[in-house]
Amino acid sequence: MNSNKLFYILVGIIVIAVFITIVLILRNIGGGGSTPVKLQFWGVFDDRNAFDKVISDFKTQNSNVDIEYRMFTFEQYEQGFVNALAAGVGPDILMIHNTWLPKHGDKFAPLPTDIPDDKNPFTLQSFRDQFVDVTYQDLVRDSQIYGMPLYVDTLGLYYNKDLFNSAGITRPPQTWGEVNADVRLLTKLDQSGNITQSGFSLGTARNINRSTDILMDMMIQSGVQMTSADQHSATFGAGIDGQYVGEIAVQYYTDFANPRNPNYSWNDSQHYSVDAFTEGTLAMMVGYAHQSQIVRSKAPRLNFAVAPMPQSSLADIRNFANYWAVAVTSKSAHPIEAWKFVNYLASREGVTTYLNATKRPSARRDLIDLQRNDPDLGVFAVQALSARSWYQADNTAIETIFADMIDDINFNRLPIRDAVSRAESRVTVLMQR
């Protein structure tokens, strides 16, 4: 082989090598890296339709990343992901309840301070600026972000407009004082003292949807300090300025199930609150935003509306937050790619797709005004701005403790002060484990 032929062969090899290198570089730049990455995303309540489009949109910018979403039932979800992570087969990304950082914080990886090529970066300041206040309290620990909120739900007042019209009530109550007056007009008893029409489903624990959330909301509205500042003990039974406001809130709540009280309108023999409302025998109930779809599916002809949650003071509005956020697990083999997706999902572009699919109230401030006039979401979207939560060491256990406290009072097992003190002690034990 002569030298000229060898020269041309070498030049050809070099040209081909350079071409292949350029192609690989361009693929890396455009696709976020050539190494294929597969992420497992677990959630609850939302089916795949809630995320299909946002996953597809993310993949157009990150062609090497595949995301598989799996929906679990609520009953199997929490223990399921805990067991999976312990076995080393858990997800990269998962939905977390807003109260879970105290209980599961060690299972989540905080947002890295610098993610290469992230087009939707978040800092502590941008998080504060873009999301409603309660999300910072719930999802940030030690100046690190552990989750991104997609929505924030709060409790609203569902009311039967026909029953209000028949009672001559022109608008829903705005304060608990107004609730008292309306309940007495709306509740009807037969000659034996049985409730035939209920003014409000309050007072009991087991047949009211989210009864313990309602009670916690009342306590927070009243100014109760639910825990000590160091979060080592529960303090909702403590006095404030000489008043035991926690006891007063519990007393007020349970009075609606007390036949000797003028507010009596509910008891343990009533149908489940959502069922009673759809049946047309309940004038007012408290519920989250998703209840609108449930009520309409059960009673398409029911003439109802949703109003803001009644308040202790219109000068200091406080609402109870309950929502799910998105986090990256500490066991993920691909935390950078996982966080890039979470950041995109929580961005204005990504979360708009999610909110349109799920009909949930926004956690992003810049989308609240777009939902403000929505007949189903408007109340809840605006209330997210005044949403509050509290440090719960174990939200499931605390729900049981509060339900037991309500029952202890209603069934005359304990007086108010003792029931509140017992619940406070049980929550403190959870916090000190």
Residues 91 and 158 in one domain: no
Query: Hey, what are 361's tokens?
Result: 């109230």
Amino acid at 341: F
Give how far the C-alpha of residue 33 lies from the chain's centroid of Cα atoms, to the nearest Å.
Answer: 34
Residues 125 and 270 in one domain: no
Residues 178 and 85 in one domain: no
Q: At what angle do helices 395-410 and 245-255 cross, to 10 degrees?
A: 70
What does the pLDDT read at residue 4?
A: 58
What does the pLDDT read at residue 26?
A: 45
pLDDT averaged per 10 residues, the chain (length 433): 56 54 47 77 97 97 97 97 96 98 97 92 97 98 98 98 98 98 98 97 98 98 97 95 95 98 98 98 98 97 98 98 98 97 98 97 97 96 98 98 98 98 98 93
Q: What is the pLDDT of residues 88-135, one digit of tens each?
A: 999 999 999 999 999 999 999 999 988 998 999 999 999 999 999 999
What does the pLDDT read at residue 23?
A: 45
What does the pLDDT read at residue 257?
A: 98
Q: What is the pLDDT of residues 143-173, one digit of tens each?
A: 999 999 999 999 999 999 999 999 999 999 9
CB 355 within 8 A of CB 362: yes
What does the pLDDT read at residue 34?
A: 64
Residues 192 and 286 in one domain: yes
CATH number for position 367: 3.40.190.10
Question: Could you give the 3-state DSSP secondary structure of residue 203?
Answer: coil
Residues 197 and 220 in one domain: yes
pTM value is 0.91
What does the pLDDT read at residue 20?
A: 53
Residues 148 and 158 in one domain: no
Residues 220 and 303 in one domain: yes
d(CA 6, CA 135): 68
User: How are beta strands 319-322 and 387-388 bridged, if at all?
Assistant: parallel
Range of the domain at 170: 154-321+393-431
Residues 223 and 158 in one domain: yes
Question: What's the domain count of the chain?
Answer: 2
